[in-house]
Amino acid sequence: MRNLEVFFNPKSVALIGATDRPGSVGLGICKNLLEGKSRRKIFFVNPYKKKVLGRKTYPKITEIGEKIDLAAVAVPAFVVPKVIAECAQKKVGGVIIISSGFAEIDKEGARRQKEIVEILRAAGVPLLGPNCLGVLRPSSKLNASFSPATPKPGPIAFLSQSGALIDSIIDKSLEEDYGFSALISYGNAADLDICDFLKFLKNDSETKAICLYIEGIKNGREFIEVAQEVTKEKPIVVLKGGKTKVGKRAVSSHTSALAGAPEVFSAAFRKAGIFEVETVEDLLQVTLALAWQPPCKNGIGIVTNGGAAGVLTADWCERFGITLPKLEKAVIKKLEKSPEMNPAFSRGNPLDIVGDALSKRYKVAIENVLNQKNIQGLIFIQTLQIMTQVKKNAQVLSKLKRKFPQKPILALLLGGKLSKAGAQILRKNSIPCFFEPRQVALAMKALIWRKNFLK
């Protein structure tokens, strides 16, 4: 196993291709690296400029008089072999090649890619890329990429062959207030590949769950073996690109990967204990549920203040093989005796506590449902009426999560603007929020699947 720590917490970083040219990749990386200047030394390399953003530049990396843990390369592809040879001479700890123009383009690009790999392997220097976004480690204030923003620290690691997908997900995470332990764009994977980073993340204390965007895999057998070891410790969720004929053609010009038959990949994922999803939104939300909530046995309770929302969620639960146990007579009697309950409540599962429900009624209903032994987890549903107490409901749910730590709670908030205040409270208390019945049921399915896998 190779030591990849230099990619996540380097003490020094050199950017080859630093520039202050507006709208350039080099300028974006400069600004991102400088966010972490309190944590590490930053060096800029550009033979044509004396200063970039007011900082001294060096004509080449070998003229920097200090040890360099990580070198990021953002220069035209034809220049890359020359600067890579200098990185090898400098004996840097690791290299990220952001530049494109390699095996994903043509035979000459493939030849050039092979050349740089040979140079670095001879020097014992690990390579990420080429043709990648880079690496982000929010907790160590490392943004060695040209992403438009840095996310907050959190429990999810995201490994992706696509850099642009990472950019979009970062933007979404800032809006929805969740964070990442690491984001890694590995591009053409000329040297380090998905298996290398999965091995690292398996032992990474910050990472609680891993999500993958995959277009192709070079060594399927190794991937299955590595993933089987990782999933014993941490859940993995995957989104596979290139499942159609048109998609496969797009893959080959994107990251030089071979897409392969989707049935083969799906079988490999199942064998490795990886949960597969079909959309970008599902990828993040399901992984977040696995990172924040405990796995559980089958048998789920639903509490809702809207009958239709409960029906739609129950439909999706049945499609996903989720059982909804009947409420026991003792539970129904307790609910009937409670002064907080409207006598019109449904007495079933889903438990419809009707539209005028305030937070106290939610508390009574959820507490009694979760106290039933054969109910292993709960889906909380909130629809918006004029009397709905959005913030108080979220506070009640957060307290109940602490009371029932072994039973996962997922929240379905059917709404938009008026639901945001509650969603913020729930996410701060590690309760995932969903806005579609299908998605909340899928996330619960993943928690049940995870429990079965760990048996």
Q: Tens of pLDDT along 202-232?
A: 999 999 999 999 988 888 899 999 999 999 9
- 8 A C-beta contact, residue 368 and residue 303: no
Strand 94-97 relative to strand 127-128, pairing:
parallel
Give the CA distances from residue 264 to residues 60, 195, 235, 259, 271, in Å, rounded to whole numbers and listed in that order.
46, 18, 21, 10, 11
The confidence score (pLDDT) of residue 254 equals 44
Per-chain mean pLDDT for the chain: 95
The confidence score (pLDDT) of residue 301 equals 98
Report if pTM > 0.75: yes
Q: How many whole angstroms separate alpha carbon 134 and alpha carbon 182? A: 11
The dihedral over CA atoms of 252, 257, 262, 263, expressed in degrees to the nearest 10, equals 140
For 60-105, what is each residue's pLDDT tens digit?
Answer: 999 999 999 999 999 999 999 999 999 999 999 999 999 999 999 9
Q: How many whole angstroms separate alpha carbon 8 and alpha carbon 153? A: 13
For 320-366, what is each residue's pLDDT tens digit?
Answer: 999 999 999 999 999 999 999 999 999 999 999 999 999 999 999 99
CATH 3.40.50.2000, applies to 294-453: no
Asked whether the bond before 130 is cis by omega within 30 degrees of 0, the reply is: yes
Task: Provide the angle, in degrees to the nearest 10, between the axes of the packed helices 437-453 and 280-292.
Answer: 50
CATH class assigned to 5-290: alpha beta
Q: Is residue 256 predicted with pLDDT exceeding 50?
A: no
For 275-330, what is each residue's pLDDT tens digit?
Answer: 999 999 999 999 999 999 999 999 999 999 999 999 999 999 999 999 999 999 99
Instruction: Outline which parts of the chain fall under CATH 3.40.50.261.
Output: 5-290, 294-453
For 128-165, what is each residue's pLDDT tens digit?
Answer: 999 999 999 999 999 999 999 999 999 999 999 889 99
Give the CA distances from residue 339 to residues 73, 142, 211, 356, in Å, rounded to whole numbers and listed in that order.
67, 54, 45, 14
Please choose, from the candidates 164, 100, 170, 165, the residue with its C-alpha nearest in 3D space to the C-alpha of residue 136: 170
Q: How many whole angstroms separate alpha carbon 71 and alpha carbon 99? A: 13
Q: Is residue 242 predicted with pLDDT exceeding 90?
A: no
